[in-house]
Amino acid sequence: MNGVLERVIENWLDKATETSFQQPFCYMLSAEGHTIIHSTRHSASELGKDIITIDSDGTPCAFQLKTGNITLKKWQNEVSRQIDSLVVGKIVHSSVETSQHHKSYLVTNGNITEEVSFDIKGRNETWSNQDQSYLRLRTIDRGELFEKAKKLGTKLWPSELTDIKTLLEMFLESGKGILPKQKLASLFESTIPLKFLKNGKAPSQKRCSRSIASAGLLCAIAISSFSNQNNHVAEIEAWIMYIAYMLALAERWHLSKNVYKSELEIATQFLYASLANLCDEIKDRTDLIEGNPLADSYVYRIRITWLLGLMSIYALWRSSKGEPKDETDDFLSEFCKEKRIQLKLWGEAAIPQILAFFWYYRKINATRKPDDFLRNLISSICIYNGPKGGGLLAGPYYEAEDILPYIFGINEVPLMDSFKGESYALEGLVHLYTRRNWKQTMKGLWPGITRLASISFKPENFCDFYRWRNKEGTVKVVFPQHTQDWEELKALSFESEGSCIPPTIKDDPILVLLFLCVYPHRMNAEIIRWLDTQIKDIPRP
C-alpha cells in the first residue's frame, strides 16, 4: 500500500470518534463477506450490540464498538457491563435464526491492555468449563484493524497518486464547512469501475461488489472530519453521493440487487440516523446561527432553507416507515411552520429543498396556504428571470457558495452566465399547481410563465443519471404556448410514469427526493410529477 495512504489510515484510527469509526468498520466487514443487518450510531446500544451481521459462513455476529485504549479502569467502569449482554444475550432480529448462537466481538481503534486481555481469557475459560463453549468474546484492536485496512487496500483501493491526494485533501478538511462534492465525486469515479477494463471486458460481479465496499470505506474515511464535527448535513450529502455511485455501477453492468443490497442498507440506515441526529441537534440549540452573527446573516436563510428541506424529508420518512407518532413529530411540525417564512429562493438548486417542505406542509396544513405558497414560488421565478428581472436566479448547477458573491454584489469578476428567460424548475411547478385545479389563478400567472423557456437535461443512460457531472445527454428547451387549453395542461400535469427515473432507485420515493436535493441538476418536470404522486400516498404524520 502506498505510504501516504497508510498514514491516512493511521491518522484516522488515532482521531476516530464513535460516529466516524463505526461506518468504515461496517464496510470493512462487508468487504470480508459479512451481510450487515443492523447498525446503530449510538455506542451504548441496547443489549450491547452496535452492529449485527451474518458472516460468509451464515453465522450471526454481534459487535460492540469502542474508541480509545481499553484500560482496566475503563473495562471495569464501562465496558464489562455491556459484555455479558453482548455475549450471553441472544440477538433479537427478524433476520437472525435464534436457535443458533452468535459470535461476539469487542472492537476498538485503540489497544487492549494486558490486564483486560487476562480477564477476557478468564471469562472465556469459565464459559468453556461450564459446557458453554459457544459463549466466547473475540477482540479486534487497533493493530488488527490496521492490518485489515492494509489487506483491503492491496485488493481494492485506487493506487494512483491523484486518488490518494484527493482522499488526503478531504481527510484534512476542517469538517466545519461545506462538503467538497466535486472532490468526493472524483474519488468515487476513480474507485467505482464504470468503464470496461483494460482487457476490454466488463468487471465481474465479484469485483463490482468489492469496489462498492471499498468506495463506502473510502467515503467514511474521507468525510471523517465532518463526522467528528457532527456536520450531519455534510454526512447526508456524502452518503447520498455514495448511494448514487453505487446505483450507477448497478445500472452500468446490470448488477443483481444481491450484489449491493447490504451496502445500500448500511448507507440508508446511516442516512436515517443522520437525519435523526440532525433533528436532535436542532432541538437542543437555542438558535441556528453559525459563527459571527453579523457575517452569518448573509447565509442564515439559505441554511434554514436546507434544514427545512431535510427536516421535512425526515418527517415524511418517519411517516412512510410507520414510526409511532411522538414528540419528534410535534417538533418537526412546529419547526417547519415557524421557519417557513425564512425560506429563501436563492437559486434553482434550492427548489428540491423547497418542494420537500411544500409536500410536508400539505400533510400538516389542510388549508389552501400550501397551494398559495406554490403559487408564490411560481410567481417569484417568473419575476426574477423574466424580462424585467435581474436574471440572477441561477440554474441548478450553481450551488449557494458559487452564486452568493453575485447576489450580494461582492464578486470580483462578472458572472459569465445569464439566467434571464429560462428556468429548470418552472414547468414542473406549473404542473403541480395545475394538479391542484387553480384554473383562474393560473390564468393570471400564465403570461409570465410564457416568457420563460423551460430547460431540462436528460442523460444518455441511467448510469449517467447518478454521476455528479456528465456531458453525454440531451438538452431540451420548451417554450410554453401563449394560449393553453386547460384540459390539455391537466392531462400533461397528471402524467406520472417517471420513465426518466432509473429502476434501481424508483422503489424508494424518499431516497429519490434526497437524491434530488443533493443533485438538483437532475430535476425536471417528469420527476417532480412522479414525486408528487408518490408522496401523496404517504400517510399524514
Query: 36 with 262: CB under 8 angstroms?
Result: yes
Q: How far apart, in whole angstroms, are the C-alpha atoms of residue 90 and residue 62? A: 10
Query: 159 with 213: CB under 8 angstroms?
Result: no
State the pLDDT at residue 282: 96
Q: How far apart, in whole angstroms, are the C-alpha atoms of residue 515 and residue 395? A: 17
Q: Terminus-to-terminus CA distance in the chain, angstroms?
A: 50
Q: How many helices, marked H, and strands, marked E, lie in the chain? A: 24, 8
Query: 523 with 428: CB under 8 angstroms?
Result: yes
Q: How far apart, in whole angstroms, are the C-alpha atoms of residue 139 and residue 152? A: 19
Q: Which sign, positive or negative, has the C-alpha torsion 406, 305, 265, 34? A: positive
3-class SS string, 227-257: HHCCCHHHHHHHHHHHHHHHHHHHHHHCCCH
Kindly state the cell numbers that stand for 157: 483501493
State the pLDDT at residue 17: 79
State the pLDDT at residue 40: 67
Question: Residue 91 corresponds to which amino acid?
Answer: I
3-state secondary structure at position 104: strand
State the pLDDT at residue 27: 85
Kindly state the cell numbers that stand for 364: 400538516
Task: Find the helix or strand (DSSP H, E) in which 422 lies.
Answer: strand 422-423
State the pLDDT at residue 41: 54
State the pLDDT at residue 42: 45
Q: How far apart, in whole angstroms, are the C-alpha atoms of residue 25 and residue 148? A: 10
The answer for residues whose C-beta is within 8 angstroms of residue 380's C-beta and 6 or more apart is 345
Segments of the chain scoring below 70 in pLDDT: 1-4, 40-48, 98, 153-162
The answer for residues whose C-beta is within 8 angstroms of residue 328's C-beta and 6 or more apart is 279, 318
State the pLDDT at residue 159: 52
Nearest 5 degrees, angle CA 305-CA 307-CA 309? 70
Q: How far apart, in whole angstroms, are the C-alpha atoms of residue 224 and residue 173? A: 9
Q: How far apart, in whole angstroms, are the C-alpha atoms of residue 47 and residue 83? A: 9
3-state secondary structure at position 451: coil
Give 537: exposed, middle or buried? Use CB within 10 Å, 0-12, 13-18, 19+. exposed
Phi, psi of 419 (to 5 degrees): -110, 5
Q: Which sign, positive or negative, has the C-alpha torsion 141, 147, 150, 151? A: negative
Sheet arrangement for strand 51-54 = 35-39, 51-54, 60-66, 103-108, 137-140
Q: How many CB atoms lie within 10 A of CB 412?
A: 5
Q: Which sign, positive or negative, has the C-alpha torsion 465, 468, 474, 475? A: positive
State the pLDDT at residue 45: 46
Beta bridge partners of 458: 474
| CA neighbor of 458 nearest in space, from 424, 489, 430 | 424
